[in-house]
Homo-oligomer: A and B are copies of this chain.
Amino acid sequence: MTPVNLKSLAEQLHLSIATVSRALRDSHEVSEATKVRVRALATALNYEPNAYASSLRRNVSKTIGVVIPKVANHFFALAINGIEEAARQSGYHVLIYLTHDDYAREVAIVQHLKGGRVDGLLMSVASGTEDFAHIKSLKDTNLPIVFFDRVCAEVATAKVTTNDYESGYQATEHLIQSGCRTIAHLLISNNLSIGQFRQQGYLDALTAHGLPPDPDLVLNGVMDNEQNVVLIRELLQRRPDIDGIFASVERLAISAYHVCKELGRRIPEDIKIIGFSNLEAASLLDPPLSTITQPAYDIGREAAKILIRAVEKKKDILPSQSLVLNSELFQRRSTAAG
């Protein structure tokens, strides 16, 4: 079976390759009559242009890369959903890379992307990343980059985030207004700005309501969930006065649930819990978990839109194009006043 490409089409139509190419791209330099002829044969033979030849020649791949820590996480899954939607609408393809929060993997991936495989990059940096040289070096190749959620402050480009400070403040305030006086903050400590913003919101909400911040109530979680359960258990046993928990990370809220059940602390009667989460099933938990939910889909979609717009216009992406989309507080039974 002969390959179906511009050459074979041209031969069958007794035209030049150039004319066939132009006809298919609807150029004004070719008559309507031949356009019709060309299109007819192309669809008849199921012609599809070779993406790599086209990309090579035009130096454009119609592909964007997405580098994220993980996909088995409802936030990132929803973000990909939004990204794919925006990409599809503009005819872009989506390459996915997972760092698993591993710095070395992130570096390797970023290095690979210098090969021109993508026209632009969406990125949520790994929590283990402390040195951003690899990202800067990629940006120096003029590859447009947009960060979302886990941004890299040191690289001057657009960032799409949620209002982490305000959300941390709101969550803490919500616990206070529900009657809590001794509020713990569970977080994963790393150098990501989002964690710091949430922590600051927590602290400011406490002081604003006359509650003195206590470092003993701030628990730095780790990667391993089993270990987190141990840490949280220790905290709750050491400080039986804790009556509220603000979890900056979904799985810390889940671990807190486990510990409370194990220790016989009733939620929300003895202790109230609120957490950042995109869990669909939050309302089905026992009890339903109050959440701060990020607009993950929108974050992904808007980030992709900014990126694609820049790629198409061949214009640099400015930090001023950054977007902050508000998270939403869903009040459920785990923080019911009582």
Contact = CB atoms under 8 A, between A and B. Distances in A.
Contact of A93 (B49, B95, B111): B95
A116 B51 contact: yes
Nearest to A93: B95
A254 interface: yes
Interface stretch (A68-76, A301-309, A314-322): A68-76
A295 interface: no
A98 B77 CA distance: 12
Interface stretch (A150-158, A177-185, A212-220, A279-287): A279-287
**Copy count, this protein chain:** 2
A51 to B, nearest CB: 4
B284 A112 contact: no
Given A137-B46, A281-B281, A80 B84 contact: no
Contacts of A85: 98
A48 interface: yes
A61 interface: yes
A80 B81 CA distance: 13
Interface stretch (A27-35, A52-60, A163-171, A231-239): A52-60
A265 interface: no
A52 B48 contact: no
A252 interface: no
Contacts of A70: 81
Contact of A284 (B52, B72, B285): B285
Nearest to A56: B52
A250 to B, nearest CB: 10
A46 B136 CA distance: 13
Contacts of A53: 56
Interface string A125-142: 000000000000100000
A252 to B, nearest CB: 13
A98 B82 CA distance: 11
Given A96-B80, A97-B84, A279-B281, A115 B50 contact: yes
A257 interface: yes
A96 B98 CA distance: 13
Interface in A3-49: 46, 48-49
A122 interface: no
A93 B117 contact: yes
A214 B77 CA distance: 39
A94 interface: yes
A73 B285 CA distance: 18
10 contacts: A46-B114, A50-B115, A52-B61, A71-B77, A71-B80, A72-B297, A74-B74, A88-B98, A96-B96, A279-B281
Q: Across chains A and B, which 8 residue pairs bring their CB atoms closest together, nearest first?
A: A286-B286, A48-B114, A48-B115, A52-B55, A51-B117, A51-B115, A52-B56, A72-B77
